[in-house]
Structure 1
Amino acid sequence: MYATVNGLRMYYEVHGRGDPLLLLHGGVSTIETSFSKILSVLAENHQVIAAEQQGHGRTADLDRPLSYEQMADDTAALLRHLDPTSADVLGYSNGAGLGLQLAVDHPALVRKLVMITPAYHLGGFHPGFMDGLADLTAAALDGTIYQQAYAKIAPRPQDWPAFVQKTKIMDQAFTGWTAEQVRAIAAPALVVVGDSDIVTPEHAVELFRLFGGGASGDEVGLPPSQLAILPGTTHLSIMDRAAWLVPIVEEFLAVSPVK
């Protein structure tokens, strides 16, 4: 299905019934390449709304830059089009950053926030990771699941090189969010990373603390936010960990937010 939001013809899918759960895919990705292992399982208990952002998958690009701010505005417009009063939000990789931006700019729409491999500032990545973006080309991604998915479902498969370049420019311009912006988010958050992720475990703990975590729960009670570090897990393999991810996410979403 498509909805026209902010001049963008945005592709989205709705699966299942229950409280709305919005899925936000990773960079140069699609609904399937990010969520094929967990979407149908989550749809057993939720109304899953999965959207493809500007230039991604079945959503054609526009003559405007890619940015977290614009994608958050587009996503907010989609949610308002679908008319839930609020939704739980789950984002992976760039989608985790998009979820964070959505909670900053459109807080009334975000009930709970699940961020899988999030970095809220540049220091969250392992040293040298962002330097590798300088060498990223469309040709370097030839044959990957991302390029193959784009070739199969994009409205204009020939746009792949320009799309990769536009994504690269957005990632190179990334500065992140301030601690003050994160602390101001009222929605409880679940932070999930792999122990061998592109995001350091220390950064995951830092972000968890900004959402009110990190104290002794036996003494002061459990915080509304949670942290999970999955063992033996990388950035690319984390979304294959459905047997771990789904129960962790479901338990977090089932707990009523602290008022």
Structure 2
Amino acid sequence: MEIYYEDHGRPDGRPLVLIHGALSGIGTSFGMILPLLAKDRRVLAVELQAHGHTPDAERPLTVEHCAADVVELLDRLGVPVADVFGWSLGAAIALRLGTDHGDRVGGLVLASVSVTADGLHPGLLDGVADLAPEHLHGSELHEEYLRTAPDPAGFAGLVTKVTALDASPPEWTPAELAALTAPVLLVFGDADIVRPEHVVELFRLLGGGVPGDVTALPACRLAILPGTTHTMVPQRAEWLAAMIDEFLESAPTTGQP
């Protein structure tokens, strides 16, 4: 399939792939932070299947399909390894890139990701199957879709595929996470949709939560943004850009540390 992308920043800079959240696009997910991240690197911002400028395909919307699409895009562009920053659904896709395509990933920035079905606050997805497209009419997400989609009438199909994905969210085993080779920066809001207990558990599964003065700093880092909801996370542009810049400067430039 054809996947829409935008190429920003320095053509010779270290590439960073941005992957947006569900029902969102480049603008609504990364409009504030993209210019900051593109100052000293090459930023490749993608739009997933059925999102934004990218048309739908005759297949379900899954993190595996979307991760494979990103790999294919990198192949077409001749980019062997890239850092990846994903938010929400985009973070799940970024994590799938790390676990299933580890040789293509340098550093991973995962914002608001859950790796088990109970990682979200209880009841948060109750009634997700009842979400109707008209519930989102007039929202920023719907307005962005109408501006960018090749078929503006396809919004209902997108909502249907997203609700199907939410009804069976992706999961990772502790063994899969332990085998992850890419360094990870975990980012969450303190009022996010992900339970804080899950955040800490994930941090530990990735090697974090150790006394760094004794054992040295682990490859996994954790940032919890104060006064920040799920949708506010990518809007904390100044905070995030500084953290991401510092983290990626220390990440390997190949798929293996």
- Same-fold call, TM cutoff 0.5: yes
Q: CA deviation at 1:132?
A: 3.7
Contact 2:63 2:170 in 1 (8 A): no
Distance 1:170 1:200 in 2: 20
Distance 2:244 2:131 in 1: 32
Distance 2:225 2:251 in 1: 24
2:18 is paired with a residue of what secondary structure?
Answer: strand
Matching residue within 14, 21, 42 for 2:7: 14
CA RMSD in angstroms, aligned pairs only: 1.2
1:130 is paired with a residue of what secondary structure?
Answer: coil
Partner of 1:3: none
Distance 2:41 2:246 in 1: 13
Partner of 2:51: 56
Cα deviation per residue 1:49-69 (whole Å; 9 max; x = unaligned)? Answer: 011111000001011111111
**What code does the residue aligned with 1:64 have?**
R
Partner of 1:86: 81
1:9 is paired with a residue of what secondary structure?
Answer: coil
Q: CA deviation at 1:250?
A: 0.8
1:192 is paired with a residue of what secondary structure?
Answer: strand
1:56 is paired with a residue of what secondary structure?
Answer: coil
1:12 is paired with a residue of what secondary structure?
Answer: strand
* TM-score, normalised via structure 2 length: 0.95
Partner of 1:239: 234
Contact 2:185 2:221 in 1 (8 A): yes
1:162 is paired with a residue of what secondary structure?
Answer: helix
Contact 1:54 1:66 in 2 (8 A): yes
2:200 is paired with a residue of what secondary structure?
Answer: helix
Q: How does 1:206-217 map to 2 (within 5 A)?
A: 206-217=201-212
Partner of 2:169: 174
Q: Tell me whether 1:122 sits opposite 2:117 in the alignment.
A: yes
Q: Tell me whether 1:143 sits opposite 2:164 in the alignment.
A: no
Q: Tell me whether 1:75 sits opposite 2:75 in the alignment.
A: no
Q: CA deviation at 1:256?
A: 4.1
**What code does the residue aligned with 1:118 have?**
V
Cα deviation per residue 1:5-63 (whole Å; 9 max; x = unaligned)? Answer: xxx11101110111000000000111111000100110001100011111000001011
Q: Which runs of 4+ in 1 moved over 6 A?
A: none
Partner of 1:161: 156
Contact 1:121 1:177 in 2 (8 A): yes
Matching residue within 215, 220, 224 for 1:225: 220
**What code does the residue aligned with 1:75 have?**
V
Q: How does 1:196-215 map to 2 (within 5 A)?
A: 196-215=191-210
Matching residue within 170, 176, 182 for 1:187: 182
Distance 2:165 2:228 in 1: 26
Q: How many residues align?
A: 252
Contact 1:201 1:229 in 2 (8 A): no
**What code does the residue aligned with 1:80 have?**
D
**Unmatched segments (≥5 aa) in structure 1:** 1-7
Identity across the alignment (%): 46
Distance 1:80 1:252 in 2: 25
Residues 108, 16 of structure 1: alpha-carbon distance in 2 compared, 3 angstrom cutoff: same
Distance 2:247 2:197 in 1: 21
**What code does the residue aligned with 1:86 have?**
V
Contact 2:6 2:45 in 1 (8 A): yes
Q: CA deviation at 1:175?
A: 4.2
